[in-house]
Amino acid sequence: MKENRIVNVGFFSGIMGPFNTPRRRMENVVKTHNNEGYKVKQVISGNPNSLFMILSFLILILTLLIYQPLPGYIVIFEKES
């Protein structure tokens, strides 16, 4: 029987962005789940709408360019149990 796990990997930008690159963030998530015996089955990219982008820019302005949420990925993992 197969066991699935769905993980939302979120990203952010702004001044804090270079300290947490999307590649490094995805690598850490995949390595963690691989160590638990899971394998990546599918990756679905985030699809932001216009409301999300407006709120994202508003948050960027309110935090004085320090933080801005960005659309991430949904990663589906699978393992044999």
For the stretch 11-31, pLDDT in tens is 988 888 888 888 999 999 999
Q: What is the pLDDT of residue 18?
A: 83
What is the number of domains present in the chain?
1
| pLDDT of residue 2 exceeding 90 | yes
Enclosing domain of residue 35 = 2-80
Separation of alpha carbons 5 and 10, rounded Å: 16
**C-alpha dihedral (65, 67, 68, 74), degrees to nearest 10:** 160
Name the strands in the sheet holding 68-80, side by side, starting at the edge strand that comes first in the sequence. 2-13, 68-80, 39-45
List, for residues 42-69, the tens digit of each pLDDT value: 999 988 899 999 999 999 999 999 999 9
Q: What is the pLDDT of residue 48?
A: 87
Residue 30 to residues 13, 21, 27, 70: CA-CA distances in angstroms?
Answer: 21, 14, 5, 19
Say which range, 8-12, 28-32, 74-78, has the weakest mean pLDDT: 8-12
Residue 74 carries which side chain, given as an amino acid letter?
Answer: I
Q: What is the pLDDT of residue 55?
A: 96
